[in-house]
Structure 1
Amino acid sequence: ALALIVFIFTVGILFVFKAFIGVQRFFVFMTSKSRTPKSDLQEPANHGLYATRNFTISHLDQQEDVDVVLGVYHVLPDHLVRKYAKELHIDEATLPKAPEGVQQEKKKEWKPLQYTEFERVVQRPNLDLNDSATHKQLFEAALCAASNGVVLYLHGNTSSRAIDYRVALYKVLRSLNYQVVTFDYRDFGDSTNIPPTERGLVNDALAVYQYITSIADQPVYLWGHSLGTGVATHLMSRLTEMGLPGPRKVILESPFNNLKDEIRAHPYAKFHKRLPWFDYFVTKPMYDNGFRFESDKHIAEFKQPVMILHAEDDPTVPFELGKKVSPNVSNMD
């Protein structure tokens, strides 16, 4: 009797998963897991991010016919913060020391016109950083003068752009004198609360990328983590298809080759994947509903160099799936 109950329960779960796209969507994106309060997201300093602008980017997703507002962080590099700590109202003594071997940028290394604009704003008498227009002007002038380049970071599923391990990476990148732009996709963080899709996330990333490139003429480096690696490769494919210049380089941290294989390898599927009808109830419905994240397909559709970072003991995304991302592609570092 107990075995029959377990069997009925197991099959029932699979039927529910196949029948309801909302259940599938939850397991892919997990947007309701560990939500950061919106009021907290709007204060980057609460997460140890000084000299960081919180703002929004709005775009019309014509493919899905929705208006989307994205919550965004723009993190200034440490060399710039140190140079203008007084003007930015930051106690220089509280700033971390520059990593050994990282040179501090000199004024002459900035492009004159770009640097002049940033300097003009930051050295304005009675600079009011609480004024939204001034704040915007200052950070966009900095973005325009991003001599080391800009990292566009695409996070994985769950939570928001302010979760601790993501913030820790921004701090490392800023210490290396990169500017960092990161954001929450739709239904993540404080972005528009609408059902996420793979295509929708790619369109959100495209909107932020176009914002950056409309201001900065310095290199953009695309960094994706976990689910964000699937967004990154799909975005690169879209940019190529649109005939637009893409980022100079792509960094994939803990990537997987496609969602079908990742689902089978995920701890949540440890028991169910042994069932003969697993693909019929789980992977096929997700594929049919557009949850694919086929990095092994998209990575062959652009030419920019790709660097893969993956821990051999990764408990969520198996190392072997990272190796399957591009076995026959020549643009790997």
Structure 2
Amino acid sequence: MKLFRRLLLALLVLIVAGYAGVVGYMYFNQRALQYSAQGEVFALSDTTLTAASEVLIATDGGAVNGWYAPPRPGMPVIVYYKGNSKSFTEESERYERFVADGYGFLAFDYRGFPASPGEISEANILSDALAAYDWLDAETDAPILIWGRSLGSGPASYVASQREATALLLETPFLSAVNVAAERYPILPVALVMQDQFRNDLWIEDVSEPVLVAHGTADRTIDVTNGERLYARAPNPDELWIVDGADHSDLWDAGIWDRAKPFFDRSLNR
């Protein structure tokens, strides 16, 4: 019996030590696990965006690199907050469509992503996001539309809670980053150790702009329930667009731009 107790105690010690080791590893490496900031930076000259220019925007303690194209007279401009992977320059197809339909745009890499040197953190991403919005607001008198995709739903929701834009579009958003982490690692105390939590669930409550949330039922990165619950918290909800069978990166091909334009028109005419 004593041997059994000793073996059981030793097993418990091993389990506790192993669990503590996993938690410690995730704590000290969490940003490397959370962000996917590698990718090629494509040249503006390789696109059809002849009216766009490269811009450098000063932020609190650094700077970010982006592209800006002014809108046609009487049209709005989109500030686009990119997702978690690669560089904003990889999404030139989107910007080309924006410009072809008369919209202006500002897109950029947060600090620590391929086109912008610096350290990745929630504080830096939110600072970069505000700086980009304020730069655009000073640059143009056109109505500003906020578009946040995936990780970009965090800075998009935050900026919309702090500034007066015309509309907020959230593509495959999370309720919060810590909620996604808790869903992915249910046995770990992520709420206690996660530094960059991106609390969209709190920020959305201070968003006065009309909100469109777009999500896919087959999203394997951020479950569709995140978008549904976030939309339910919006004070000024306009539309919840759920695409059956769409995964995390499918909404552009599924026609989100054709869904966005009527939403922007409704918001401009309010």
Shorter-chain TM-score range: 0.7 to 0.9
Structure 2 counterparts to residues 28-107 of structure 1, below 5 A: 28-31=34-37, 33=38, 35-37=39-41, 41=42, 43-47=43-47, 49-59=49-59, 61=60, 66=61, 68-75=62-69
* Distance change in 2, residues 1:162/1:9 (3 Å): farther
1:218–1:227 distance in 2 versus 1, CA, 3 Å: same
| Alpha-carbon spacing, 1:206–1:146, altered in 2? closer, same or farther (3 Å) | farther
Larger CA Rg, structure 1 vs 2: 1
Match of 2:201 among 283, 296, 301: 296
Question: Does residue 204 of the first structure (1) align with residue 204 of the second (2)?
Answer: no
Matched, 1:236 2:236: no
**Could you say which structure has the higher strand fraction?**
2
Instruction: Using the TM superposition, give the Cα deviation of residue 261 of structure 1 relative to its aligned residue in structure 2, in angstroms.
Output: 1.4
CA RMSD of aligned residues (A): 2.2
Q: Give, in angstroms, the shift of residue 168 of structure 1.
A: 2.4
CA positional deviation for 1:36:
1.5
- Say whether 1:283 aligns with 2:208: no
State the TM-score, normalizing by the size of structure 1.
0.62
Give the secondary structure class of the aligned counterpart of 1:27.
Answer: helix
Shift of 1:292: 1.5
| Cα distance in 1 for residues equivalent to 2:18 and 2:170 | 38
Q: Pick one of 24, 27, 36 that aligns with 2:30.
A: 24
CA 1:168–1:11: 2 relative to 1, 3 Å: farther
Q: Please report the TM-score for the alignment, with normalisation by the length of structure 2.
A: 0.76
Q: Which runs of 5+ in 2 are unaligned?
A: 1-10, 239-270
Kindly state the Cα deviation for residue 10 of structure 1 after the two structures are TM-superposed.
6.5
Which residue of the partner structure matches residue 114 of structure 2?
A: 189
Q: Does 1:13 align with 2:17?
A: no
Matched with 1:132 is: none
* Residue 254 (structure 1) aligned with residue 172 (structure 2): yes
Does the 8 Å CA contact 1:71/1:189 hold for their aligned counterparts? no
Unaligned runs of 5+ in 1: 76-141, 240-245
How high is the sequence identity, in percent, across the aligned residues? Answer: 24
The answer to whether structure 1 residue 315 and structure 2 residue 220 are counterparts is: yes
What CA distance in whole angstroms lies between the structure 1 residues aligned with 2:232 and 2:83?
23
Distance in 2, matches of 1:72 and 1:155, equals: 11
State the Cα distance separating 1:215 from its structure 2 match: 2.2
- CA distance, structure 1, for counterparts of residue 130 and residue 95 of structure 2: 20
* Structural mapping, 1:96-135, within 5 Å: none
Task: Tell me, yes or no, if the aligned pair for 2:211 and 2:234 is still in contact at 8 Å.
Answer: no
- Does the 8 Å CA contact 1:296/1:326 hold for their aligned counterparts? no
TM-aligned CA deviation for residue 181 of structure 1: 0.9
Matched, 1:151 2:69: no
Contact 2:213 2:231 in 1 (8 A): no
User: 1:173·1:179 contact (CA, 8 Å) conserved in 2?
Assistant: yes
Distance, in Å, in 1 between the alignment partners of 2:54 and 2:150 is 24
Query: Are the aligned partners of 1:257 and 1:296 in contact in 2 as well (CA < 8 Å)?
Result: yes
For the residues of structure 2 that align with 1:49 and 1:12, how far apart are their CA atoms?
50
Alpha-carbon distance change, 285 to 10 in structure 1, aligned in 2, over 3 angstroms: closer
Give the SS at the match of 1:284: helix
Partners of 2:30 and 2:94 in 1: CA distance: 29
**Structure of higher RCO (CA pairs closer than 8 Å, 6+ residues apart):** 1
Q: 1:188 to 1:56 in 2, by over 3 A?
A: same
